[in-house]
Amino acid sequence: MNQPKGKDQDEFKTAVIMTVLWVAGLTLVIIFAALLAGLWLDKILNSSPWLTIVFILISIPVTLFLTIRVVRSSTARIQPDIKKEIDQEEPHRGDYS
C-alpha cells in the first residue's frame, strides 16, 4: 500500500480510521435495526422467531453492499492525494517510444 509521507501521513491515517469507524457504526445500526424490527413484528404478528431471522438474514447483504459503497467512496477521496504525491516524487523523464 502506498502511503503518503510527512504531514500528509496523519491525514491519511485519520481518513482510514474514520472509514473504519463509519463502516463499523453503519453495520451495528443496520443489524440492530433489523433485530428490533424483527422482534417488534414477531410480537405484533405472533410469528416468533421467523421475522427476526428473516430480517437479520436480509440485513447481511444490505450491510455488505453499503460497506462496499462507503469504502469505495472513501478510497476515491484518498487516492487522488496519493497519486499527486507520487507524481511529484517521480518527475517525467521523457517518452521512451
Given pLDDT bands bounded at 50, 70 and 90, which one contains residue 8? confident
Task: Give which of 82, 87, 83 is closest to 4, Cα–Cα.
Answer: 82
Domains of the chain, by residue range, sit at: 26-78
pTM over 0.85: no
Distance CA 77, CA 96 (A): 32
Distances, alpha carbon 70 to alpha carbons 25, 45, 60, 63, in Å: 12, 35, 15, 10
pLDDT of residue 81: 54
Task: Give which of 75, 34, 67, 65 is closest to 51, Cα–Cα.
Answer: 34
- Per-residue pLDDT reduced to its tens digit, 29-58: 999 999 999 999 999 999 989 999 999 999
